[in-house]
Amino acid sequence: MSGMTYKGYHARVEFDADDEIFVGRVAGLNDVVGFHAETVEDLKAAFREAVDDYLETCRTIGKAPQKPYSGRVMFRISPEVHAKAATAAELSGKSLNEWAEAALAEAAAKQVA
């Protein structure tokens, strides 16, 4: 599994051993935007074409393309993890939001270039 980026959109790519093709999907969209190819060169082209087609389709139908995330995140964690995170944040002199943002940014940087 690996990722690709084009025009600010990211894609997750996997190899389908049964069909012997690379299969990708643009991440972070409510719409399903997928692509596939047999070679890496063709896969890159297919990804760019899929993003360009998504943007053109949005223009054609008068829909705004999905933009980057709003910055608001809500998720549930165990009370134990919540307590440890809150304590770590306090000890580092940050609010829990600031501390969580830094932790998420560090983790995400390892996954998304």
pLDDT at 1: 45
Q: Which two tokens stand for residue 41?
A: 């060169």
Question: In this predicted model, what pLDDT tens digit does every residue of 14-27 receive, in sequence order?
Answer: 999 999 999 999 98
Nearest CA-CA partner of 69 in 9, 18, 6? 9
Do residues 9 and 20 touch, judged by C-beta distance below 8 A? no
Question: In this predicted model, what pLDDT tens digit does every residue of 21-62 receive, in sequence order?
Answer: 999 999 889 899 999 999 999 999 999 999 999 999 999 999
